[in-house]
Amino acid sequence: MRTTGSIFALLIVAIVPVRLLAQGNQDKPFPPHKVIGNIYFVGTDTHSSFLVTTPAGHILIDSTYESNVPWIKQSVEKLGFKFTDIKILLTSHAHVDHCEGDALVKQMTGATVMIMDRDVPATEKIQPEGKPHPIDRVLHHLDRVALGGVVLTAHLTPGHTEGNTTWTMKTTEDGKTYDVVIPGAIYPNGMTPVVGNKAYPYIAEDSLFMYKYLRILPCDVMLGSHTPFYHMQQKYAKIGKGPNPFIAGEQGCLADINGWEQAFKKRLAADQAKTSAAVER
């Protein structure tokens, strides 16, 4: 079960408004490490970036901030891989702290940049130093991305953004095959109203749908676009001290989803109460 401390850490990250994050990157480097099978963590202490390796080149999920790209490159190389072997760049969702570095990664590697259809308008507006945002392939719900025998499936799980994307894939470790689920963000930003949101009027309905959808996905390993979403630092500390700490199993995955949904419902109820109070006045 999730501890109170881990819930607090998750919410602190989840509710930081993107407009504030964009004003200054507060990330710190974090040791790159193997998560499971051919999936590696190459992100920062706060933002996840995953390297999926294949014999035909590699797939990167989330470039994060542009200023983090040199760290990501160093992490990839520390693990023994070539940064220039990245052939595909995927995104969890269209917020600056997750895809601002796309143009730089493409410039450095030539990677094909893929974005979920409903996130294209927001992604196109993310242009660090005026650089146009590269979008080489527009994805749709259940599209498959294949490279070197590895297949990832894009699931549209809107809520945090309209095109918030959950990636799923299978990987093998010690002769066993595991289902890996990598949700985009799983909670609305703190400054984003979930009641009466004129820019995204169905944000509450989409968010509730997302939790239901995540429950139907086969899951042994639950990751996430922010490190507290899957308790990365706590699990990292357990590497080499027993079974792979990232293997949560079905019940572990469901416990995380239930925790996220409960937190959202409390937020929704609070916003509804504020709206009702304002109307009565």
The tens digit of pLDDT for each residue in 201-212 reads 999 999 999 999
Is the confidence at residue 13, as pLDDT, over 50?
no
**Hey, what are 57's tokens?**
């080149």
What is the dihedral sign for C-alpha 123, 51, 208, 256? negative
Least confident range of 27-31, 39-43, 104-108, 275-279: 275-279
Q: HEC states along 214-247?
A: HHCCCCCEECCCEHHHHCHHHHHCCCCCCCCCCC
Q: What is the pLDDT of residue 24?
A: 61
Contact 184, 93 (CB under 8 A): yes
Determine the average pLDDT of the residues in 70-90: 98
pLDDT band at 191 (very low <50, low <70, confident <90, very high): low
Is the confidence at residue 23, as pLDDT, over 80?
no
Q: What is the pLDDT of residue 17?
A: 37
Determine the average pLDDT of the residues in 42-64: 98
Is the confidence at residue 19, as pLDDT, over 90?
no
Determine the average pLDDT of the residues in 157-186: 96
Q: Which CATH superfamily is domain 4-276 in?
A: Ribonuclease Z/Hydroxyacylglutathione hydrolase-like (3.60.15.10)
- Domain assignments of the chain as residue spans, ordered by start: 4-276
Per the model's pLDDT, the better-predicted residue between 26 and 23 turns out to be 26
Q: What is the spatial distance between Cα 73 and Cα 103, in angstroms, rounded to a whole number? A: 14
Q: Give the contacts of 189 (CB within 8 A, at least 6 positions apart).
A: 14, 15, 16, 17, 18, 160
pLDDT digits (tens, 9 = 90+) for 226-263: 999 999 999 999 999 999 999 999 999 999 999 999 99
User: What's the pTM value of the predicted model, to 2 decimals?
Assistant: 0.90
Question: In the beta sheet, which residues pair with residue 50?
Answer: 41, 61
**Hey, what are 12's tokens?**
């602190």
Per the model's pLDDT, the better-predicted residue between 188 and 3 turns out to be 188
Is the confidence at residue 9, as pLDDT, over 60?
no
pLDDT digits (tens, 9 = 90+) for 123-144: 999 999 999 999 999 999 999 9
